[in-house]
Chains A and B, each alone.
Chain A
């Protein structure tokens, strides 16, 4: 009864569930496998894992470039200022915002490479760029952008590389002298004094992807233009620059107590920020209490109006909640569906596959109806009955005998066939063929009792 609907339900749910499962598995795998820039060791020159940068550092050293690994931004700035060098920042989110502007003040001979900087970093660093479209994964593309050749010679030499993940565009009303490469996945521009290269994908630098396409050529080309590479390898969010020197000498414990890796630098204007926020700046905290920007954004009558409307809503809610009368309950009469036990027994037969008992009952019922029509007693031998029925209906006697006294049906289809044939039998017997020539039976027509 319910099986068609259930099957229909399955038909819709199973493919949909498979697709959802595929999505879920893919998403979980992606989240687990995709490297996180905030993890310690991400693109580190000493990390030989798949998300490290040790092979790139070796390739650079092999090219004769001096690779310097620095653990703190002030040190990196100092080292980069000593000689013409390339400053690689693999995780710009970890750099404290106050250092970002300092990066732009490096000498003009320097180059700064930012890997996948988010909008916040670009904004605070004064870079006239903004992220536009972000892809789900890095895609290998040619160095051209909208048909224009790439102005960076090292990128043009690399050819196809997996450099397109985050696209960047020039912020509205900013300097036009930018070089776009890899379909805007790589931007080269002059950033106050120094040269800045922003690349939206970390893949060309990573150990596991370095060999693919022209990634090696692109990475070594971008970093090998100067004789020195200063590799800023940060383990976690940096402390602000005006704190005492203690975190700098103790580099292993700069992380905030809790919630620090979610938001490395809470907004200083939010006086009631996270518990790991800048609790050591009481002057800013008290100032932020006085002027709440949300409260200042609207006139005070607006808040008063809001409060009054809220009160009116409360009255409406109370008015609606007071019902005129509770619902009236009454006992319902007992309901027993007709033939409930009969139908239930039929289902039990079916579940137990009781084809034998069911066929016996059906045959017995058919015999009890057919025998009085043929004037045969209830205990007639099967041969007599089969012959009499066969003569009356014109069917072969073996078939009739098989129908009335045959074997147990093997499956439901056979039982259904049997039931249909038995249901048709009394009609066939009572309305015989035109050639009615039944031999008179030698038996007395006795009363058919109600036992069957």
Chain B
């Protein structure tokens, strides 16, 4: 293939035409000369089949952070490789400019081409193709062929942002208050007996263990500790209601954020955390992960999840939960309080679930509804929209009441407080010993 240089050479030759005795043979001669020179240049370009490429670099990156992936281009031929290389990624991988990299590789040498990536979306971001244009020494012609050299496969996994990490220290501190040797420990059912210790002034006299005191010559009190080794199952609804944008990210992302915070906290509290993402099929499942690898496994399972435009099959959700969790567990269902989806899907099968497990339904509140109902309407269409919003709120309240009748706790919070409110609900249940 010829370049602009060949065209420029031809144009320069054209300018000498007035000096030639007969112009038309001169045209043929000059054109033939330029073409011959270009053919020679093409033949002297480094062959593409002798170039080999491999990659290394980041495999995972958190959304919002930057990653680098390096290409090692080895010139296996005996000619110098000059040219441009394009490392094409999907647009959402956010590959930084330049569009193509200039290459100068001596025979037998290896050149590094670094691509900086700032992904704009969660999930798997693959490198798609590699194209190399090898120019001749004069730059008159180049070689280029699709699929040569073969692009080494590489996929960058973009993990969820997990912004609610910043809340973790505070929640852990509250957990420790719960866990410490304070009198605030409840005596309610389900709390576990921990140890006996000597009575100190200020202890609740109802905690005195008379039988043990009779065996010893001292007054002993029982101490309790919060339940441990309970099971927490986060169920993410990835159906159509999870695609709704709250602010500028889908509802599913807010649910992931809250699920990650809950999992981090629960694993610190000594509970076992499992995860399930379902719409019409099980999209992701994590179970039996040890405490050390739990978060890693969770973010890896959550990263490629995307909302799908299907109605969630709650029959399947309940069946999967009952199959996976034989013992009593806390099931946190991240979904939306929508009468269509929950009223017809979840409510008929909820009794089976609520009979065996403790269920919390967590939904991100839509700020648009709040805005529509809280501000006085300025135009007629606002009044109609406010009426529609009040109606939606009333329907949501009906769903909520129906869920509450089944003994389900409902967390309905705006996106910025959502993760915090979900973990608060967990902590409250733990305090009450009702896990």
Are chains A and B native binding partners rather than an unrelated pairing?
yes
Query: Contact residues of A with B, CB < 8 Å?
Result: 1, 299-301, 303-305, 307-309, 311-313, 315-316, 318-319, 322, 324-325, 328, 330, 333-343, 345-347, 349-350, 354, 357-359, 361-362, 364-365, 412-413, 415-416, 418-420, 423-424, 449-452
Q: Which residue of B lies closest to A334 (CB)?
A: B243
- Residue among B6, B372, B375, B385 having the largest count of chain A Cβ atoms under 10 Å: B385
Once the chains are docked, how many angstroms separate the CA of A229 from the CA of B80?
A: 95
Known contacts A305-B14, A346-B389, A361-B391: does B3 contact A319 (CB below 8 Å)? yes
For the complex with contacts A324-B86, A328-B89, A328-B128, 10 further pairs of A-B residues with Cβ separation under 8 Å are: A308-B30, A312-B14, A315-B2, A334-B308, A334-B309, A336-B244, A342-B368, A361-B391, A362-B383, A413-B380
* B243 touching A336, Cβ below 8 Å: yes
Known contacts A304-B27, A315-B2, A334-B243: does B385 contact A343 (CB below 8 Å)? yes
B379 on the interface (CB 8 Å rule)?
yes
Q: Which residues of A contact B129 (CB under 8 A)?
A: 325, 328
Minimum Cβ distance to chain B for residue A452 (Å): 6
Once the chains are docked, how many angstroms separate the CA of A325 from the CA of B129?
A: 8
Q: Which residues of A contact B86 (CB under 8 A)?
A: 324-325
Main secondary structure of the interface of A (DSSP, over half): helix
Minimum Cβ distance to chain A for residue B269 (Å): 32
* A333 touching B377, Cβ below 8 Å: no
Once the chains are docked, how many angstroms separate the CA of A305 from the CA of B24?
A: 9
* B388 touching A343, Cβ below 8 Å: yes
Q: Which residues of A contact B308 (CB under 8 A)?
A: 334
Q: List 10 A-B pairs, minimum CB-CB distance, nearest first.
A: A346-B385, A304-B23, A450-B397, A412-B380, A339-B368, A358-B387, A308-B14, A419-B383, A346-B388, A365-B390
Q: Which residues of B contact A333 (CB under 8 A)?
A: 121, 243, 250, 306-307
* A347 touching B381, Cβ below 8 Å: yes
Once the chains are docked, how many angstroms separate the CA of A319 from the CA of B377?
A: 60
Question: Could you count the A-B residue pairs with CB atoms below 8 Å apart for me: how many are there?
Answer: 198
Known contacts A301-B18, A358-B387: does B376 contact A308 (CB below 8 Å)? no
Once the chains are docked, how many angstroms separate the CA of A305 from the CA of B92?
A: 49
Of A303, A335, A451, which one neighbours B401 at CB under 8 angstroms?
A: A451
Main secondary structure of the interface of B (DSSP, over half): helix
* B380 touching A450, Cβ below 8 Å: no
Q: Which residues of A contact B400 (CB under 8 A)?
A: 450
* A342 touching B240, Cβ below 8 Å: no
Of B10, B91, B307, B366, which one neighbours A312 at CB under 8 angstroms?
A: B10
Of B246, B372, B376, which one neighbours A342 at CB under 8 angstroms?
A: B372
Minimum Cβ distance to chain A for residue B143 (Å): 11
B428 on the interface (CB 8 Å rule)?
no
* 16 sample A-B contacts, Cβ–Cβ < 8 Å, listed by A number: A300-B24, A304-B17, A305-B18, A309-B11, A311-B31, A315-B10, A325-B86, A338-B368, A345-B388, A345-B391, A346-B381, A364-B394, A415-B383, A416-B379, A419-B377, A423-B386
Of A1, A301, A365, which one neighbours B394 at CB under 8 angstroms?
A: A365
Minimum Cβ distance to chain B for residue A320 (Å): 8
* B366 touching A315, Cβ below 8 Å: no
- Residue among A322, A325, A418 having the largest count of chain B Cβ atoms under 10 Å: A325
* A330 touching B384, Cβ below 8 Å: no
B94 on the interface (CB 8 Å rule)?
no
Q: Which residue of B lies closest to A421 (CB)?
A: B376
B299 on the interface (CB 8 Å rule)?
no
Known contacts A301-B20, A312-B7, A339-B369: does B376 contact A420 (CB below 8 Å)? yes
Minimum Cβ distance to chain A for residue B307 (Å): 6
Q: Which residues of B contact A451 (CB under 8 A)?
A: 394, 397-398, 401
Once the chains are docked, how many angstroms separate the CA of A424 from the CA of B386?
A: 13
Q: Which residue of A lies closest to B247 (CB)?
A: A338
Minimum Cβ distance to chain B for residue A428 (Å): 12
* A304 touching B244, Cβ below 8 Å: no
Once the chains are docked, how many angstroms separate the CA of A319 from the CA of B3?
A: 5
* B307 touching A349, Cβ below 8 Å: no
Known contacts A304-B26, A328-B128: does B377 contact A361 (CB below 8 Å)? no
Q: Please, what's the 1-or-0 string for B283-323, where 1 marks a CB less than 8 Å from any CB in chain A?
A: 00000000000000000000000111100000000000000
Interface residues on B, range: 35 or more
Minimum Cβ distance to chain B for residue A178 (Å): 49
Minimum Cβ distance to chain A for residue B72 (Å): 19
* B245 touching A336, Cβ below 8 Å: yes
Q: Please, what's the 1-or-0 string for B93-125, where 1 marks a CB less than 8 Å from any CB in chain A?
A: 000000110000000000000000000010000
* A420 touching B377, Cβ below 8 Å: yes
B429 on the interface (CB 8 Å rule)?
no
Q: Which residues of B contact A304 (CB under 8 A)?
A: 14, 17, 23-24, 26-27
B355 on the interface (CB 8 Å rule)?
no
- Residue among B89, B91, B246 having the largest count of chain A Cβ atoms under 10 Å: B91
Minimum Cβ distance to chain A for residue B145 (Å): 11
- Residue among A299, A309, A450 having the largest count of chain B Cβ atoms under 10 Å: A450
Minimum Cβ distance to chain A for residue B112 (Å): 20
Once the chains are docked, how many angstroms separate the CA of A323 from the CA of B385?
A: 50
B168 on the interface (CB 8 Å rule)?
no
Q: Which residues of B contact A354 (CB under 8 A)?
A: 384
Minimum Cβ distance to chain A for residue B405 (Å): 11
Of A319, A335, A340, A416, which one neighbours B2 at CB under 8 angstroms?
A: A319
* B369 touching A315, Cβ below 8 Å: no
Q: Which residue of A lies closest to B21 (CB)?
A: A301
Q: Which residue of B lies closest to A361 (CB)?
A: B387
Once the chains are docked, how many angstroms separate the CA of A336 from the CA of B372?
A: 18
Minimum Cβ distance to chain A for residue B261 (Å): 22
* A350 touching B17, Cβ below 8 Å: no
Minimum Cβ distance to chain B for residue A190 (Å): 52
Once the chains are docked, how many angstroms separate the CA of A335 from the CA of B366?
A: 15
Minimum Cβ distance to chain A for residue B395 (Å): 10
Q: Which residue of A lies closest to B87 (CB)?
A: A325
* A330 touching B14, Cβ below 8 Å: no
Minimum Cβ distance to chain B for residue A60 (Å): 67
Q: Which residue of A lies closest to B307 (CB)?
A: A334
* B245 touching A338, Cβ below 8 Å: yes
B183 on the interface (CB 8 Å rule)?
no
* B387 touching A349, Cβ below 8 Å: yes
Minimum Cβ distance to chain B for residue A227 (Å): 69
Once the chains are docked, how many angstroms separate the CA of A354 from the CA of B10?
A: 75
* B23 touching A419, Cβ below 8 Å: no
Minimum Cβ distance to chain B for residue A58 (Å): 70
* B376 touching A419, Cβ below 8 Å: yes
B65 on the interface (CB 8 Å rule)?
no
Name the interface residues of B245-302: CB closer than 8 Å to any CB of A.
245-247, 250
* A305 touching B10, Cβ below 8 Å: no
Minimum Cβ distance to chain A for residue B51 (Å): 15
B36 on the interface (CB 8 Å rule)?
no
Once the chains are docked, how many angstroms separate the CA of A114 from the CA of B387?
A: 82
Q: Which residues of B contact A324 (CB under 8 A)?
A: 84, 86, 99-100, 131, 133, 144
Q: Which residues of A contact B379 (CB under 8 A)?
A: 416
